[in-house]
Structure 1
């Protein structure tokens, strides 16, 4: 039962841009950009269960960036890569497209699943961020944080020693590893499909118990919590967990985050939101429901 309800109005309508496309991902960029990745179609699974990295058929991807109230659409036609993530990089000068999966074919033949394009659509550089990426966020200092799900941590698609074995990895803008979570952090990450970046901090949830970690300056502090979930908003001493269109608010007390209330998020007419998987960055939550984008900021609540 929610303690209060907040009715949200769409901040942008993407009916024109989304027509004929399938939403793949939403995210909030390093400078507050609202980002949406669309595709003409989604590749079929291999044998009904394995996600392809590269396909024989081509498709067009469309990346939408909303910055300073203006919408910008970028089309990437003739692509065979199966992309899942899209954000600005290089201080907004370029655009990063990345696939969640990457095959290691052996003998140094590794698929470079991260590709940086100019605004003109030309490829600038490419590199590998590993297999099994569950979430990706580019930071203001042009680092790339990647959280990996179990196949990216324990190995699949030819990876005996996965690049994502740390669970959470910080890369530079050229694809060089800067830091990995498992290196002396105490608690093991079996799955890091989600995390929240807040300026120079990253919050993660462990799936081994009711524990969360907050990494700052590449050092992780651990806290207990009463709520077991993964998608979080982070704002100074407060944190909110997202469950069933509700925000479960927590406040830090020593080494714990304790529950302080529940807020239900609704549309203006009082009906519940039915969003595509939402995105977080710091205290902000971005949701795409049909053609409408909704933005909620815990910092202003």
Structure 2
């Protein structure tokens, strides 16, 4: 019996690809009929888990556009807004010869922005009159202060660009510093510690970092903790983790413990009182993780597993998978493009445009 990939010749997921491989193998030898295989695999297809509606992120002012949204240490959303005409400045890209484009590191002019917190009601924390960092993320600090960090940063002989600013509750800048280029994650604690995870360009160098005549990348270790004064306090070492960080895919920060999952071996790593321990993990490509210290949920993966949700438990030396699911919106539909999923403690926060959905490990108890 000839066998084709599902969906008009296209493999929709790893699950369908496995179906096709098994069917092709068995079909050649006449062991099973395709209809029997299809029925068996469909009965064992990963179940769909729906995120729960939690809140809608209301704009602080009419005409505001959402620039970014992250999750603070208390599980609150911290959102950065700007007027719609200014949005392009904050996510600017430049084109080089050959039509290659690169993200800008500074706006061409000062941009007014607003930082708002949601828990889930909105509280406007700061009104920033002259933001210059591009691709910015905001996080709260103690005493009503706000940290805004741009993800890109150039090294220059006269000194690197400063891509981190601490503001007071009125939006007045108090302190500037450099947290490095290639920033993927910024998470603060209630004590004011700042944890930063870097993607590959921040680890290996770009925009002048890592050249013979320049400074090593700030994020060369892949994971760094800074103080509220923007000074480096700690950085990751692979000695006890088993492998170094090439790209910090997932980061979960609580006041007591930090968890990470990173390219290329994707171990699940715990940082507790600056001590690093790692566990073997065969689930590659996860972009977010939630954990209570013993149970773990890993979200994301490489195409076509972008909405994969894998649950499991931590043993002494590895992550043991107990279930595989697909994360969907509250209506059971696939998550829209551009959705961001962030893990804080045992919860996954799903930001889809101005929608804030949640999913906790307790929601997965019956699905593990």
TM-score over 0.5 for the pair? yes
Pair 1:195-2:251 in alignment: yes
Give the distance between the partners of 2:204 and 2:353, measured in 1 at CA.
36
Q: Report if the CA contact (8 A) 1:8-1:265 is conserved.
A: no
Q: Who is 1:6 aligned against? A: 50
TM-score by length of 1: 0.89
1:42 to 74, 85, 88: 88
Q: How far does residue 172 in structure 1 lie from its aligned partner after superposition?
A: 0.8
Deviates most, 156-165 or 273-282: 273-282
Name the residue aligned to 1:121. 171
Aligned ranges 1:60-209 → 2 under 5 Å: 60-67=112-119, 69-73=120-124, 74-89=126-141, 91-107=142-158, 109-160=159-210, 161-182=216-237, 184-185=239-240, 186-209=242-265
1:6–1:263 CA contact under 8 A, matched in 2: no
Mapped contact 2:340–2:352 kept (Cα < 8 A):
no
Larger Rg over CA atoms: 2
Task: Give me the CA root mean square deviation.
Answer: 2.3
Report the alpha carbon displacement of residue 209 of structure 1 after superposing the two structures with TM: 2.3
C-alpha deviation, 1:34, in angstroms? 1.6
- CA drift of 1:120 comes to 0.7
Paired with 1:300 and 1:117, the residues of 2 have a C-alpha distance of 37
Larger RCO (CA within 8 A; separation ≥ 6)? 1
Contact 1:15 1:292 in 2 (8 A): no
1:279 is matched with which residue?
342
Unaligned runs of at least 5 residues, structure 1: none
Equivalent position of 2:103 in the other structure:
51
Counterpart in 1 of 2:17? none
Residue 144 of structure 1 and its aligned partner are, at CA, apart by: 0.5
User: What CA distance in whole angstroms lies between the structure 2 residues aligned with 1:112 and 1:129?
Assistant: 8
Map 1:256-271 → 2, pairs under 5 A? 256-271=318-333
CA shift, 1:15, in A, is 4.4
2-structure distance, mates of 1:285, 1:172? 26
Q: Which one has the bigger strand percentage? A: 1
In 2: Cα distance, 1:24 partner to 1:298 partner = 29
How far the C-alpha of 1:227 sits from its partner, in A, is: 0.9
How far off is 1:254 after superposition? 2.2
- Is the 1:287–1:295 Cα contact (8 Å) retained in structure 2? yes
Give the Å deviation of 1:266.
3.6
SS at match of 1:194: strand
Q: Per residue, is there more helix in 1 or in 2? A: 2
User: Which residue is 2:356 aligned to?
Assistant: 293
After superposition, where does 1:215-294 map in structure 2 within 5 Å?
215-230=271-286, 231-243=288-300, 244-274=306-336, 276-294=339-357
- TM-score after normalising by structure 2: 0.74
Name whichever of 148-157 and 258-267 sits farther off: 258-267
What is the count of residue pairs matched by the alignment?
A: 297
Task: Give deviations 1:100-140, integer Å, cap 9, x for gaps.
Answer: 11222114x22221101111111111111111111110012
